[in-house]
Amino acid sequence: MTDDVLISVEGRVGRIRLNRPKAIHALNTGMCAAALDALNAWRSDPAVEVVMIDHAEGRGFCAGGDIRMAAESGAGDGSAARDFFRVEYRMNHALFTYAKPIVAFMDGITMGGGVGISQPAKYRVATENTKFAMPETGIGLFPDVGGGWYLSRLPGRIGQYLAVTGHRIDGAECVALGLASHYLPFDRLDEAKARITADPQGIEAVLNELSAPAPDARILAHRGAIDRLFASDRLEDIIVALEADGGDWAAQQLATIRTKSPQAMKVSLKLLLDGATMPTFEDEMRQEFAVAAHVVQRHDFVEGVRALIVDKDNAPRWDPATPADVSDHLIDQIFAPLPDDQAWSPA
């Protein structure tokens, strides 16, 4: 076990509390393993009726995964990064297939790995503090932990827009898009958790009673533009559409895209294209693991982490440098299945 995640049973509720505040509760291998062990233990334990996921002290729900470690590993043989992704994806899959109700409190920053542990939950609670994003294209990665599944199922082309640009949305927008099931003011969270612990069978009634009307979802004002400008699964087509638009909003998106890894954006678009028709979440996780295993050892991931997280010069030198230079053959290599003895499988 690890102090980075607090595992307990309170009454009939199994609690998973992320406890790595200095890293905004970013997940590491030990945290994922501890959560997975707890989920497996509670799965057949009649004394545990509900699972609750939140964070302990500090701000933010979960800022993602241990990206610095993964990049350091990727610069070498990549084994530690693959070990992390393998365990994390097993935890994601366990949450997705869990028979008992799960409630996740997405209060504060909910990005990357935080998306992966909140979206499988039946009850996903957003607040006025929620900042939800899958910003991986900025570090040469892609929206993993099931991102190909969840984002491809959002209305219209909003998933593709979020995947390519890494755009951050708030709690009200999460509710409007179905990424959150309830909107609670922050000051009602403690009451909600206490009442759920006291009466785990009353989760829905408690959350419904304590919910507040969510503000207008700002992203919906751009729904038409998103569906039109991000209509293609080809990155080059999206860029052409944005360049031709001439409006301020399109220009802002174009400027954002030009800071992202061309390889990562193309990988993300294919991931969502495939994810929309993926037969099962297990299949999704198997593909995402293969893609992650390849991407983590490529230049753009190591360089993106250097530029944004290590040196913080915010000047990544992508290679390939332009969308045109990212060949279909390269994308096929990244999406190639792993040999059976290296492939991902559920816990």
287-302 pLDDT, tens digit per residue, is 999 999 999 999 999 9
Structure tokens at 311: 């040196």
* Paired residues of 9 in beta bridges: 14
Choice among 65-69, 91-95, 175-179, 300-304 with the minimum mean pLDDT: 65-69
Evaluate the CA torsion angle 55, 59, 63, 66 in order and state its sign: negative
Answer yes or no: 60 catalytic: no
**The pTM is what?**
0.96
pLDDT in tens, 183-215: 999 999 999 999 999 999 999 999 999 999 999
Answer yes or no: 303 catalytic: no
Describe the strand order of the beta sheet including 13-18 as a list of residue ranges: 5-10, 13-18, 50-55, 102-106, 123-126, 182-183
Confidence tier at 126 by pLDDT (50, 70, 90): very high
Please determine, for residue 247, whether its predicted confidence score (pLDDT) is greater than 80. Answer: yes
List the catalytic residue out of 14, 65, 112, 275.
65
Percent of the chain with pLDDT over 70: 100
Average pLDDT over the chain reads: 97
List the catalytic residue out of 54, 136, 173, 303.
136
Please determine, for residue 1, whether its predicted confidence score (pLDDT) is greater than 70. Answer: no
Helix (H) or strand (E) holding 123: strand 123-126
List the catalytic residue out of 60, 108, 113, 159.
113
Query: What gap in Å lies between CA 238 and CA 125, rounded to an integer?
Result: 33
pLDDT in tens, 30-76: 999 999 999 999 999 999 999 999 999 878 999 999 899 999 999 99
Domain 5-334 sits in CATH at: 3.90.226.10
Give start and end residues of each alpha helix (H) in 64-178: 67-74, 79-96, 113-118, 147-150, 158-165, 171-177
The residue assigned the tokens 């004394």 is 47
**281-295 helix and 79-96 helix, angle to the nearest 10 degrees:** 160
Cβ partners under 8 Å of residue 2, min gap 6: 28, 30, 31, 34
Cβ partners under 8 Å of residue 234, min gap 6: 269
**Confidence (pLDDT) at 99:** 97
**Confidence (pLDDT) at 347:** 77
